[in-house]
């Protein structure tokens, strides 16, 4: 049954229209636009450097974005009768894009926080994860206290940045280096310009599979689990419709199937490719 579900989702993903444009290419008003054949299109804002949630099929950023969030968005918009357009941007530009009406919703492994909830509305949590310390193999960092005196990278605007800043203030001897993309953090670490990075565990696993010279340790002590949700402009009428389909996906096994596809099968493939 799981294989059948996955085959259905793959076929669904291939049939949906996924267009990546620059931020200036958004529809006006609520972001929603109409295609030549009369079908309504919803614009999804994301930051496609966050495998396995969303990423480009090649390292150079060519092709179309794929991933866990993309499959969920494809399923929901298809069920609701919309075409899907994906806009790639820096993570810290996503909420401003929603506020300005340049996107209808956002999926980027984004965690609802009190600060974010002041500016946008969120769906229920669709996936939970924890934060990790990523560093060169053999570094042995296990806690924030181990990072005292070190330079630590974080993604700008992320929940990891917020947590790291709180810990840096508490510990008092951690230098933080924010970057727009996770891939930039990995490059900085491999070049020796930063000692470690705070990255979500599912994303860290993907990068480790392709970079065996790195390691990651899940932050258990003092680090709370974070969850991903869909973000919408304040008072968006879409939120209720999306929530209904999201709940259906949880009940009918579709979400479970996608979790296996992107957090088990994908990592197994990555690990096999690196051997």
Domain with residue 135: its CATH number is: 3.40.190.10
Residue 130: predicted pLDDT: 86
Asked whether residue 150 carries a pLDDT value surpassing 70, the answer given is yes
User: Does the residue 274 lie in any domain?
Assistant: no
For 268-273, what is the mean pLDDT?
63
In which band, very low, low, confident or very high, does the pLDDT at 28 lie, cut at 50, 70 and 90? very low
User: Which of 27, 32, 64 lies closest to 48, judged by CA?
Assistant: 64
Main-chain dihedrals φ then ψ at residue 87, nearest 5 degrees:
-110, 125
Residues 165 and 250 in one domain: no
Q: How confident is the prediction for the chain on average, in pLDDT?
A: 84
Residues 141 and 66 in one domain: no
Lowest mean pLDDT among 20-24, 83-87, 166-170, 218-222: 20-24
Residues 146 and 110 in one domain: no
Q: How many CB atoms lie within 10 A of CB 37?
A: 6
pLDDT tens digits for range 39-97? 799 999 999 988 889 999 765 556 789 999 999 999 999 999 999 999 999 999 999 99
User: Does the residue 244 lie in any domain?
Assistant: yes
Residue 157: predicted pLDDT: 87
In which band, very low, low, confident or very high, does the pLDDT at 32 lie, cut at 50, 70 and 90? low
In which band, very low, low, confident or very high, does the pLDDT at 159 lie, cut at 50, 70 and 90? confident
d(Cα 204, Cα 214) in Å, to the nearest integer? Answer: 10
Residues 170 and 118 in one domain: no
Lowest mean pLDDT among 32-36, 101-105, 142-146, 244-248: 32-36
Residues 30 and 114 in one domain: yes
CA distance to 91, 239, 265, per residue, from 50 (Å): 10, 23, 17
Residues 233 and 255 in one domain: yes
pLDDT tens digits for range 238-270? 999 999 999 999 999 999 999 989 987 776 676
Q: If DSSP codes are grouped into helix, strand and coil, which group holds residue 35?
A: coil
User: Which of 208, 143, 198, 154 lies closest to 176, judged by CA?
Assistant: 154
User: Does the residue 275 lie in any domain?
Assistant: no
Q: In the beta sheet, which residues pair with residue 223?
A: none
Residue 266: predicted pLDDT: 74
Q: Which domain holds residue 262?
A: 2-128+227-269
Contacts of 225 (CB under 8 A, 6+ apart): 128, 129, 130
Lowest mean pLDDT among 21-30, 84-93, 108-117: 21-30
Give how many domains the chain has, as a whole number.
2
């Amino acid at each position: 049954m799981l294989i059948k579900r996955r085959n259905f989702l793959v076929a669904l993903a291939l049939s949906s229209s996924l267009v990546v444009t620059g931020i200036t290419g958004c529809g006006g008003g609520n972001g929603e636009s109409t295609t030549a054949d009369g079908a309504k299109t919803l614009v999804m804002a994301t930051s496609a450097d966050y495998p396995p949630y969303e990423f480009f099929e090649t390292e150079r950023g060519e092709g179309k974005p794929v991933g866990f969030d993309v499959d969920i968005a494809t399923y929901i918009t298809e069920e609701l009768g919309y075409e899907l357009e994906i806009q790639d941007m820096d993570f810290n530009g996503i909420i401003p894009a929603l506020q300005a009406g340049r996107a209808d919703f956002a999926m980027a492994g984004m965690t609802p926080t009190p600060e974010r909830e002041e500016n946008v509305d969120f769906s229920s949590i669709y996936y939970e994860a924890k934060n990790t310390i990523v560093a060169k193999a053999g570094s042995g960092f296990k806690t924030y206290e181990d990072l005292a005196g070190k330079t630590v990278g974080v993604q700008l605007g992320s929940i990891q940045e917020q947590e790291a800043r709180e810990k840096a203030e508490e510990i008092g001897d951690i230098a933080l280096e924010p970057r727009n993309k996770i891939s930039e953090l990995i490059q900085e670490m491999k070049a020796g310009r930063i000692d470690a990075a705070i990255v979500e565990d599912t994303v860290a696993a993907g990068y480790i599979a392709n970079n065996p010279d790195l390691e990651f340790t899940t932050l258990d002590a003092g680090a709370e689990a974070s969850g991903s949700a869909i973000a919408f402009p304040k008072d968006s009428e879409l939120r209720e419709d999306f929530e209904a389909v999201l709940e259906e996906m949880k009940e009918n096994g579709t979400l479970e199937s996608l979790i296996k596809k992107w957090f088990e099968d994908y990592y197994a493939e990555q690990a096999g490719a690196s051997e």
